[in-house]
Amino acid sequence: MDVLTLSRLQFALTIAFHYLFPPLSIGLGLLLVIVEGLWLATKNPLYHQMARFWTKVFALTFAIGVATGIVMEFEFGTNWATYSRYVGDVFGSALAAEGIFAFFLESGFLAVLLFGWDKVGPKVHFLATCMVAFGAHFSAIWIVVANSWMQTPAGFHIVGGGLAARAEITDFWAMVFNPSSMDRLSHTLAGAWQAGAWLMVSVGAWYLLHRRHRDFALASVKIGLGLALVAAVFSLITGDASARGVARNQPAKLAAFEGLWETTAQAPLHLVGWVDERNKRTHGVAMPGLLSWLACGDSARPVTGLDAIPKADRPPVNFSFQLFHLMVAVGFGMIGLAGWAAFALWRGRLEDSRLLLWLLTFSVLGPQIANQAGWWAAEVGRQPWIVYNLLRTSEALSAVVTANQVAASMVMFMVVYLLLFAVFLFLLNDKIRHGPDEADLVPSGKLALGFEPKEEC
């Protein structure tokens, strides 16, 4: 394989693995704020127990997120040096802002969140939890802004020509609020909330199936499901907005997502399908006019097809199509599941349906699949560009790095990441099987100040 393919594979492998963890940290971070807030408000020790248990899970995901995140920052320079020179002036400032505003906040207060239970009072601890969650969200902001700039560059001009060309900021806020950044940020956060929320639901449902820790499990399902329902609907709304943005700003990507070969009015929307790239046909179940209506708000309006895009500028069509449709299908599935579970919970019949509980137990996979598929679709759909319409992926490589070097590092990453993933699953399973700690029902240390155990009430 050549150095381009290897470098792309390595980046795909390392970002896909990394992206399993930050969404969990963002979602669980928000849930920790909710649970600990409930504890402070109600003084119900169950919420304290929940906060303790989910903090441990959070710590595990956070540690791997940090360890694999530093790889991403290095890889821009190691494998994509030409890209780094080209975008450093624009992309770098978002990355530096992420470090200064988000990572310090997150990792600093994480210490108090994890180890400060007995060292600080409840309110200070809650503040730390809020700051960790806030930092996790903040890091998403800057990295999605930077990535969105690669999708829809704005607020810059090109200086120099040929190999020395590079983008320079002309308007910082136009760069930050580039045409796709807010849609994509809200959609990414919705996906991250789902990742955390469904994990909580899934663990709760598993305990209910096995008739263990019933109070804890029910509370986990309720709180998790509340966020999951909101986030699933929010995913739909922001996803729709993002797709309309793609239609406006990246027509080639939308055409690939939908396998639309010819520019037409009444463009159809495929529910499922298969793109025959050789014969330029898309087979599947389609709803006529729906794509035009969704993308432009009017089914009579034309949608740009791949025929309007020069061959050299087209992304891989079937691959983008399948990734996008997988994301959408899973997204709707999560809304349906959340609705069903919420209805069952409302009627008090959640624990009667073993099928529903089993589905909820596996629900944790849903947002992970959708997040991965969606992120892959966004990146594959931008090809062959690394910065849309400005710099091709094939022109962005490091000049001095050879295929053998990348092959060596990729083997290293595969071995290390397989080990990490195995250990992560093993430890997560271990924590879940061990369950919440009964001792946590009685807060100790400074947290116990001003707290009366139930029996004495």
Partner 1 sequence: MTFGSLDLNTVWFVLVGVLFTGYVILDGFDLGVGVLHLLAVRRDEERRVFINAIGPVWDGNEVWLVTGGGALFAAFPAVYATVFSGFYLAFMALLCALIFRAVAIEFRSKRPSPCWRAFWDGGFALGSFGSALLIGVAMGNIAWGIPLDARGEFAGSLPGLLHPYALLMGVTTVALFAMHGAIYLVLKTEGELQATVRCWVNPLIIAFILCYVIVTLATLLYVPHITEAFRREPWFFGIVIPVVLAIANIPREVNRGKEFLAFLSSCAAMVGLMAIFGLGAYPNLVYSLPNPEHSLTITNAASSHKTLGIMLTIALLGIPAVLAYSTSIYWIFRGKVKIDRMSY
Out of 114, 233, 271, 390, the only residue in the binding site for partner 1 (CB under 8 A) is: 114
CA distances from residue 68 to 11, 73, 99, 299, 370 in whole angstroms, order as listed: 12, 10, 15, 45, 20
Out of 42, 108, 214, 358, the only residue in the binding site for partner 1 (CB under 8 A) is: 108
Residues numbered 407 to 436 that lie near partner 1 (CB under 8 A) are 408-409, 412, 416, 420, 423, 427, 430
Instruction: Say whether residue 82 binds partner 1 (CB under 8 A).
Output: yes
Residue window 368-397: x/- pattern of binding to partner 1, with contact defined by CB under 8 A: ------------------------------
Instruction: Say whether residue 159 binds partner 1 (CB under 8 A).
Output: yes
Q: Select 42 or 444, whichever has its Cβ closest to partner 1.
A: 444
Amino acid at 437: D
Instruction: Say whether residue 272 binds partner 1 (CB under 8 A).
Output: no
Q: Select 41 or 164, whichever has its Cβ closest to partner 1.
A: 164
Helices (H), 213-352: 214-249, 251-258, 290-296, 317-346
Out of 6, 90, 144, 145, the only residue in the binding site for partner 1 (CB under 8 A) is: 90
In the complex, the smallest distance separating the C-beta of residue 147 from partner 1, rounded to whole angstroms, is: 15
d(CA 217, CA 213): 6
d(CA 430, CA 427): 5
Q: Select 114 or 359, whichever has its Cβ closest to partner 1.
A: 114
Instruction: Say whether residue 314 binds partner 1 (CB under 8 A).
Output: no
H/E segment holding residue 262: none
- Phi, psi (degrees; rounded to nearest 5) at 284: 155, -175
Interface stretch with partner 1, choices 105-113, 230-238, 302-310, 333-341 (CB under 8 A): 105-113
In the complex, the smallest distance separating the C-beta of residue 88 from partner 1, rounded to whole angstroms, is: 2
Instruction: Say whether residue 19 binds partner 1 (CB under 8 A).
Output: no
Residues 6+ apart with CB under 8 A from 327: 370, 373, 374, 377
Q: Select 236 or 401, whichever has its Cβ closest to partner 1.
A: 401
Count of residues making up the chain: 457
Closest CA to 10 of 2, 300, 448: 2
Instruction: Say whether residue 68 binds partner 1 (CB under 8 A).
Output: yes
Task: List 204's β-bridge partners, or say none.
Answer: none
Instruction: Say whether residue 12 binds partner 1 (CB under 8 A).
Output: no
Residues numbered 34 to 63 that lie near partner 1 (CB under 8 A) are 59-60, 63
d(CA 366, CA 224): 14
- Phi, psi (degrees; rounded to nearest 5) at 178: -65, 165
- Alpha carbons within 13 angstroms on the beta-carbon side of residue 12 total 13
Out of 1, 74, 212, 307, the only residue in the binding site for partner 1 (CB under 8 A) is: 74
DSSP state of 64: H
Question: In this structure, what token pair is assigned to residue 103?
Answer: 């990572």
Interface stretch with partner 1, choices 26-34, 115-123, 244-252, 327-335 (CB under 8 A): 115-123
Instruction: Say whether residue 70 binds partner 1 (CB under 8 A).
Output: yes
Interface stretch with partner 1, choices 82-90, 304-312, 331-339, 350-358 (CB under 8 A): 82-90
Instruction: Say whether residue 119 binds partner 1 (CB under 8 A).
Output: yes
Closest CA to 22 of 189, 185, 220: 189
Instruction: Say whether residue 287 binds partner 1 (CB under 8 A).
Output: no
Q: Select 59 or 345, whichever has its Cβ closest to partner 1.
A: 59
CA distances from residue 91 to 144, 219, 304 in whole angstroms, order as listed: 11, 42, 29
